[in-house]
Structure 1
Amino acid sequence: MSTFLTGIDHIQIASPPDSEDTARKFYGELLSMEEISKPPNLQGRGGCWFICGSQEVHIGIQKDFVAAKKAHPGFTVHALEELKLRLAEAGYAIHEEAPIDGRSRFFTNDPFGNRIEFLEFE
């Protein structure tokens, strides 16, 4: 059987209207993701894009925004404890979870209430 899928190009996380500056502070400054330019034909939609490893994270504006409470991206990191401290110092609640398959992890919510997971392979 041949497979058509070869990987993940990007994920999209929804945010409320006029939230680009808040997204830049959280994803860009706090999480240290580099912002990348959106293609010219998509710039009028709002939102902002970031690079995370070899994948992209697209923050998309959603008019009738509702935060994702169960669905979530899982970002792999190094220095998980440092990131946890950085987020806590910035006022984000940390939700501890049991490790799975040799991965330490925790959850937080982005400024819009979306669930976000961070994992570090042991």
Structure 2
Amino acid sequence: MSFTFKKIDHVQLAAPKESEELAREFYSGILGFKEIEKPETLRKRGGAWFAMDGIQLHIGTEEPFVPAKKAHPAFEVENLEALKQYLSDCEVDYIVDENLPRANRIYIHDPFGNRIELLEWHN
């Protein structure tokens, strides 16, 4: 092959139209992502973009909207136990999944019902 995949540039999740403020409250306010400016040519489409430590997460709006219940991004985290306590304090429900060997992992759902995996690997 004469080409190479280098990295994931971003992950996009969908949300209902006009839900940008709720996305900001969740992704910036609770999860700590920083909102980044969308290019002028894409702003009219709605949605919001977020970033943290080399991770970009784009929220795009669409109608009709259907949340991703099975397909999902998975973010590796450090100190998942502290994150679980923080999520509980913020009243964000999570589901513990012990089916992946060597991983401590949970699933959360954003305000739109999209599934998000958060995991920490153990040796």
The normalised TM-score by structure 1 is 0.91
4+ residue segments displaced more than 6 Å: none
Q: Deviations over 1:14-48 (max 9, x none)?
A: 00111111111111111101111001100111111
Aligned pairs, number: 122
Quote how far apart the aligned CAs of 1:80 are.
Answer: 0.8
Aligned twin of 1:11: 11
Q: How far does residue 85 in structure 1 lie from its aligned partner after superposition?
A: 1.8
3-state DSSP of counterpart to 2:92: coil
The alpha carbon displacement at 1:83 in A equals 1.4
Residues 1-122 of structure 1: matches in 2 within 5 Å? Answer: 1-98=1-98, 100-122=100-122
The one-letter code matched in structure 2 to 1:97 is D
SS of structure 2 residue aligned to 1:45: coil
Q: CA deviation at 1:2?
A: 4.6
Percent identity between the aligned chains? 44
Q: Normalising to structure 2: TM-score of the pair? A: 0.91
Please list the CA deviations of residues 58-116 of structure 1 after superposition, one character each: whole Å capped at 9, or x if unmatched.
01011110111100000111121121122223222211101634321100111111111
Give the Cα–Cα distance (whole angstroms) in 1 for the partners of residues 6 and 101 of structure 2: 23
Query: Where does structure 1 lack aligned partners over 5 or more consecutive residues?
Result: none
Residue 41 of structure 1 aligns to a residue whose secondary structure is: helix
The one-letter amino acid paired with 1:7 is: K
Unaligned runs of 5+ residues in structure 2 are: none
61-70 vs 82-91, greater mean Cα deviation: 82-91
Q: Distance in 2 between matches of 1:75 and 1:53?
A: 11
CA distance in 2, matches of 1:101, 1:36: 35
- 2: distance between equivalents of 1:61 and 1:99? 32
Query: CA RMSD for the aligned pairs?
Result: 1.5
Q: Which amino acid aligns with 2:19?
A: S
